[in-house]
Amino acid sequence: MRSYIIERGEFPPLLADIPDAPERLFVRGALPSSEEYRYLCVVGSRHASPYGRRAVASLVAGLVGNKIAIVSGLALGIDADAHTAALEAGLPTIAVLPSSVDDTSIYPSTNRALAARILQKEGGALLSEYPEGSRAAMWTFPARNRIMAGLSHATLIIEASEKSGTLITMRLALDYNREVCAVPHPIGSEGGAGNNRLIREGATLIRNADDLLEVLGLRSSTDPREAPRTLPLDLSDSERALLIALTAPLTRDELCALSGLPAQHLNIALSSLSIRGLVIERLGKIERC
């Protein structure tokens, strides 16, 4: 599949409006209609933790049935996981590259097979501002990030350390007056310390896909269509007992008493449920997401 050029006047309106928009883009594939789809930029660490990988898979899967396109940078780690999750969920996905979009230049080369999968799907596209034969360089990564943030209605940070390059995309999104969201991480998690700082400074905390739909304007916090929460079918007995007991935020001691679980079993079940995004602990109390 050969690339083609779109000029600034043909860009999706959000990208065309940023002050440092490129003059043209090289495209392979077909961009989802910006009139029909909300674009969500999903980024995170190249050294993704199991927690971060589960978070991106769960959140993207929860967007099925909505006209949302996932934008990311094809990088190793969370970016690649975001594209993969979108493909598996049947959502369009757009990879913005720090190199040109021809097969021999795609960066990183280890994700060429993923790029090919993106192009095979309807609504899948590769984007770059660089002509054929252009290799990635240190300065092309932040330049690439401005396109990702500029294209998107919101940017979701899955996992970032305090000094992560992912935070460049976050700052650009703020400069463009776009919504910035972040997934909370356990206290002491170095890989997620940047996320927790962002939330403390005002980024929207994302607990589940419904939070993302609200950010994107596809569901209100009081949407009458929102179904009552049901329990997943693949829970262990301990996990099920905890979720049934969590009708309101509870301390661990209260949860032990109500669920009847020994402390060791409770802690194991809580860890599992937290990784799956089904519970969250804050201000000393545990609550369902």
pTM for the structure as a whole: 0.76
The pLDDT score that the predictor gives to residue 220 is 57
- Judge if 161 and 276 occupy the same domain: no
CA distance 58 to 102: 31
Strand partners, 104: none
Residue after which a domain boundary falls, among 215, 248, 266: 215
Does the pLDDT at position 284 exceed 90? Answer: no
What tokens does 29 get?
């594939």
What mean pLDDT is predicted for residues 264-286?
86
Rounded to whole angstroms, how far apart are CA atoms 282 and 78?
25
pLDDT in tens, 48-58: 999 999 999 99
CB 87 within 8 A of CB 121: yes
Residue that is last in its domain, among 153, 183, 215: 215
Residue 182: strand pairing partners:
157, 205
In a domain? residue 231: no
The CATH number of whichever domain residue 45 belongs to comes to 3.40.50.450
Are residues 38 and 102 both part of a single domain?
A: yes
H or E segment at 254? helix 252-259
Residue 135 lies in a domain: yes
Residues 40 and 141 in one domain: yes
What CATH number has the domain bearing residue 252?
Answer: 1.10.10.10
Tens-digit pLDDT profile for residues 59-99: 999 999 999 999 999 999 999 999 999 999 999 999 999 99
Indicate the SS3 state at residue 108.
coil
Q: What pLDDT was estimated at residue 221?
A: 54
- 229 lies in a domain? no
Domain match, 43 and 158 both: yes
- The per-residue pLDDT for range 213-255, each reduced to its tens digit, is 999 998 755 444 444 456 677 788 888 888 877 777 788 887 8
Q: Are 94 and 86 in contact (CB under 8 A)?
A: no
162 pLDDT band (50/70/90 cuts)? confident
Please indicate, yes or no, if residue 232 is contained in any of the structural domains.
Answer: no
Q: Please state, as a whole number, how many other Cβ atoms lie within 10 Å of the Cβ of residue 258.
A: 15
Residue 221 lies inside a defined structural domain of this protein: no
Residues 6+ apart with CB under 8 A from 14: 34, 39, 150, 151, 152, 153, 176, 178
Structural domain for 83, as ranges: 4-215
Among 168, 183, 215, residue at a domain's last position:
215
Number of domains in the chain: 2
Q: Are residues 262 and 181 in the same domain?
A: no
Query: Quick one: pLDDT at residue 82?
Result: 97
CA distance 125 to 246: 43
Do both 152 and 37 map to the same domain? Answer: yes
Tokens of 64: 């099925």
Q: Is residue 227 part of a domain?
A: no
On whether both 193 and 101 belong to a single domain, the answer is: yes
Nearest CA among 254, 229, 253, 247 for reference residue 287: 247
Looking at the chain, the whole-number percentage of residues with pLDDT higher than 90 is 60
**What pLDDT, on a 0 to 100 scale, did the predictor assign at position 225?**
43
Same-domain status, 92 and 208: yes
Same domain, 169 and 276: no
**223 domain residue, yes or no:** no
246 lies in the same domain as 211 = no
Give the integer Cα–Cα distance in Å for 178 and 208. Answer: 20
Contact (Cβ atoms closer than 8 angstroms) between residue 277 and residue 208: yes
User: What's residue 92's pLDDT?
Assistant: 96
- Find, among 2, 20, 10, the residue nearest to 148 by Cα: 20
Verify that 191 and 277 share a domain, yes or no.
no
**Does residue 183 fall inside a structural domain?**
yes
137 and 276 in a single domain? The answer is no
